[in-house]
Structure 1
């Protein structure tokens, strides 16, 4: 069961802030490379990962008729991804053929999916961008996945955009990027990210007022601590 307080915390922080919190713990390569939001919704995407892995398609296995198979892994993935989860697709960083299209992503949305990420491309990208579900990919792609990709495994470890993703890892997407938080440290990282965000908001206000960043960001002068504490009380943070 996903802890909803983790979701609530991460809804208010940035990928950049979480990346710094993970770096403090020795994790340097958690941002999924090469993906961008389609029609950013003005809110973060947060949820545990449910994964789908593609391999290179082979002609004797991936004719158009396979879509008639009710057990086709791509279709099963859409119908089995739990509500509140983010579907993460390993498309081998290959956007020459689509990872999915608007009908499947609409179905994922209706079933309560928290978002979808592919390191390949989506077809019908303009339509997906208008859906309420957060979606991230590398670029639009029209050919069906069958031309180049075979959906082969559900909810196992994958690589997406050069990042290892395990089922249940916590996925955070914002207006810029998507990051993967190992499930075992998601609670502490999300709590720290909230505290970091509060201080960063204080810093932005001080910098806009003409304050130098030296000693302020990062805070190396104790004089800023009292000012921050007073600001925090005044702003209810």
Structure 2
């Protein structure tokens, strides 16, 4: 696992910034493919999901090895991941972008919630999705799925590098999910990305206010002249931003 430890200050900053803003700051650093594809929230929430990644990898099921009896083993990777994912982390599952069988259901997700896990993400599907949507924990998937994971997916290992929605996820990476989707921040960049996105968010809020008041975007967004910058400085003082 990454030696990086997500601080309360960085977590709080990322709790209120949008994934598109994060994507722009990552693009400035040459990172183009950090937004997990075809994954969406089961329900809208007031705050973002923020936490370091704890991963689970599925492979195609082998019928002779993937029967209901596997759950007799307390170290079965799916069950073990639910019990070992640390509080404040996000469980991220590589389900091979296959939602034909469920990555988990409401009982496992409820257990994650009760253990203080910050959220759960799969590029497959969840069963019991209406019940999961009503939980407090933030959850993201491709689409609902009824069949048990055993029919198509074999949980093989946890807390290893995975691919989720065509994005590389390493244990300890910082995962941020809002009401649009989920983005992955490499752990070593998390503090600086958090600081920059807070600044960007303040400017974007200022720009939105100006545009809704009738201002042109030329020179304003992005700020390519001195006048918007000076006006933004006044706006920040007046709004405590």
- The question of a shared fold, defined as TM-score above 0.5 by the shorter chain, is answered with yes
Counterpart of 2:10?
A: 6
Runs of 4+ in 1 over 6 A off after TM superposition: none
Residue of 107, 114, 118 corresponding to 2:111: 107
For 1:225 and 1:63, the matched residues in 2 are separated by 63
Give deviations 1:89-127, integer Å, cap 9, x for gaps: 000000000000000000000000000000000000000
Residue of 212, 226, 237 corresponding to 2:216: 212
1:153 aligned onto 2:157: yes
Residue of 175, 180, 186 corresponding to 1:182: 186
Aligned-residue offset at 1:61: 0.4
1:58 aligned onto 2:66: no
Taking structure 1 as the reference length, the TM-score comes to 0.99
Aligned-residue offset at 1:68: 1.9
| Number of residues of Structure 1 aligned to a counterpart in Structure 2 | 237
Counterpart of 1:44?
A: 48
Q: What's the Cα RMSD here?
A: 0.6
For 2:105 and 2:79, the matched residues in 1 are separated by 11
Structure 1 gaps, min length 5: none
Aligned-residue offset at 1:70: 1.2
Aligned-residue offset at 1:209: 0.4
Taking structure 2 as the reference length, the TM-score comes to 0.97
Aligned-residue offset at 1:24: 0.3
1:234 aligned onto 2:225: no
Counterpart of 2:174?
A: 170
Structure 2 counterparts to residues 70-81 of structure 1, below 5 A: 70-81=74-85
DSSP 3-state at the match of 1:127: helix
Counterpart of 1:96?
A: 100
For 1:223 and 1:49, the matched residues in 2 are separated by 42
DSSP 3-state at the match of 2:36: coil
1:121 aligned onto 2:125: yes
DSSP 3-state at the match of 1:224: helix
Aligned-residue offset at 1:39: 1.2
Give deviations 1:171-220, integer Å, cap 9, x for gaps: 00000010000000111011000000000000000001000000000011
